[in-house]
Amino acid sequence: MTDRHPLVLKWAIEHARARALFDRGKGPHVWGFNNLDFRQHRLLSRIFFAVEKDGVMPDSFGYPEFHFVYQGMIIFASLGPIDRYSHNAKTRLRFVIYDPNMDEPAVHSEWSDDHILLEDRISEISAGIVVTARAVFRAYREKLKSALDAELLRVLDGLKRLETLAVDSFAARSDPRTFEALVEMAERHWKAVLVRHFLRALSKTITDGTVEVAGHSLDDWMTWAAAKTDAFDPLVQGAANIFAKVVKF
């Protein structure tokens, strides 16, 4: 197969290594790629190359999973047989863009082999991915802006009440760095919100939490990531600690 996208080539290399380990009796059984797999690889290579031109970058947590990243936002997608139990070369395929953060994943768009094969709909699929990526990013940006505005209003209201109650509030009122500290903490909180959203999506891709990476299981890594996120998030520390830090400025 020629003109493979680097991500597809990475999958092929990792698969070949896993097969070699299995052949030497040092790894789990790994099925070989068949003609249906190669067809999917060709389709994905063409789609990946196409969307990259618009700043939508393909990525993967591990074959056969793949997703797209646009302005830091993850857009999930899948390509596979319409009939999951059929894997011959003539099996009809379906490409789906979906939101996994629900009990039942919400489908944004989908395309299937019918009277027109997916190979003849590459431009249509690629355009759909780009449109969805931009829409998801706009929606998130507006949600984040609204939430940040509300949080800042709440903090400002708290400052006003602090000024009327605290005897030593003059230093906090007169030092502009106090408000900058509040803005910085609000930004840290919303970055933590984004990381937690990512970790929830990541957890759904883990089928075996005992698999080890760098000497630690995936479950341990997820626990570590959650703890680091809580330590990074000022909101977890509570209002008293937040305003105590403000007074110290």
- How much is the mean pLDDT over the chain? 84
What would the pLDDT profile of 176-219 be if each residue is shown by its tens digit? 667 777 778 888 888 888 888 888 888 888 888 888 888 888 88
Report the pLDDT value the prediction gives residue 156, as an integer from 0 to 100.
76
Please report, for residues 15, 82, 226, the alpha-carbon distance to residue 23 in angstroms, rounded to integers and kept in the order given: 12, 32, 38
Tell me if 89 sits within 8 A of 34, measured CB to CB: yes
**Confidence (pLDDT) at 105:** 65
pLDDT at position 52 is 96
Mean pLDDT of 218-240: 87
Query: What are the angstrom distances between the C-alpha of 150 and each of 106, 174, 178, 183, 186?
Result: 28, 24, 18, 12, 11
pLDDT value at residue 24:
86
pLDDT at 168 over 60: no
Angle between helices 177-203 and 218-232 (to 10 degrees): 160
pLDDT digit string, tens, across residues 65-104: 999 999 888 899 999 999 888 778 789 999 999 887 666 6
* Domain range list for the chain: 6-133, 166-248
- pLDDT at site 57: 95
Mean pLDDT over 37-61 rounds to 95
Indicate whether 245 pLDDT > 80. Answer: no
Q: What are phi and psi of 130, to 5 degrees?
A: -65, -45
Instruction: Tell me: pLDDT of 36 over 90.
Output: yes
pLDDT at site 177: 67
Two structure tokens written together for 120: 């003849």
Alpha helices, H only, 101-205: 122-165, 170-174, 177-203
Model pTM score = 0.60
